[in-house]
Amino acid sequence: MKIRLHDLNFVPLISEEEVRRRISELGNELFVRLGDKNPLFIVVLNGAFMFAADLVRAYNAPCEMAFVRLSSYSGTTSSGTVTTSAGLNTDIAGRHIVIVEDIVDTGRTLHVFLDTLAGCQPASVTLTAFLRKPEAQIFPIQVDLTGFDIENKFVVGYGLDYDQLGRNLPGVWVLESQSE
Ligand code: IMP
């Protein structure tokens, strides 16, 4: 079955059932690591909203949540990259942090954010990504827990969008290749 979003066709990649099973495993793995430590889940908006909602429900102990919006773009500074974060009002010094991200592609966005966080002296940082594209990663960040590793192809669903469409799909769909 295909779906059409704007001008592009997408085909199923990961079913709702597979997603549900994997999130339950991730919740358990996080509980084993952080169970009684009252971790602070920092959710990277917009794409991680659905993953975060399911992940914290699979996390069977007290925890807190905060939300950030990160944007990165090529600018005119010497580094060529500017990243801003907004919305992180909670004091994170000494806290056990779980970063919740939708997908790690090149890793650029999180690379800069992780540097910023390290300066705030958290007790620990656990980076959790729903999806990862290992072939696309350029920046050296370590993803501690990954939902699924996927090929370097454009995907939508479960929070991820194509020009704002597709976020509400309960599973993951991939751009149809020209041969299909
Ligand atoms: P990075 O900084 O290159 O790792 O890019 C991360 C961000 O790019 C993600 O948080 C997504 O918002 C977006 N992104 C990367 N790949 C995809 C994709 O396949 N579908 C939708 N959004 C994507």
Element (H, E) at 100: strand 96-104
- pLDDT > 90? residue 112: no
Closest Cα to atom 9, ligand 1: which residue? 103
Residues with CB under 6 A from ligand 1: 47, 72, 102-109, 154-155, 160
DSSP-H helix ranges across the chain:
16-34, 49-57, 108-118
Q: Which range among 7-16, 31-40, 72-81 shows the weakest confidence by mean pLDDT?
A: 72-81
Mean pLDDT (the chain, rounded) = 90
- pLDDT > 90? residue 144: yes
Q: Where are the domains of the chain?
A: 16-150
Cβ atoms < 10 Å from Cβ of 162: 18
Q: In the prediction, which pLDDT does 159 show?
A: 98
CA 4 to CA 30: how far, in whole Å? 36
Closest Cα to atom 19, ligand 1: which residue? 154
CA 110 to CA 101: how far, in whole Å? 9
- pLDDT > 90? residue 145: yes
Which of 70, 81, 105 gets mutated to test ligand 1 (max ligand atoms within 8 A of its CB)?
105
Q: In this predicted model, what pLDDT tens digit does every residue of 27-62 receive, in sequence order?
A: 999 999 999 999 999 999 999 999 999 999 999 999
Cβ atoms < 10 Å from Cβ of 63: 19
CA 102 to CA 140: how far, in whole Å? 18
Rounded CA Rg of the chain: 17
54 carries an active-site annotation? no
Residue type, 113: F
The arithmetic mean of pLDDT across residues 174-178, rounded, is 90
Q: In the prediction, which pLDDT does 138 show?
A: 95
Q: In the prediction, which pLDDT does 82 show?
A: 45
The arithmetic mean of pLDDT across residues 61-69, rounded, is 94
Cα–ligand 1 centroid distance for 167 (angstroms)? 13
Backbone phi and psi for residue 95, each to the nearest 5 degrees, phi listed first: -90, 155
Which of 44, 84, 103 gets mutated to test ligand 1 (max ligand atoms within 8 A of its CB)?
103
For domain 16-150, which architecture applies? 3-Layer(aba) Sandwich (3.40)
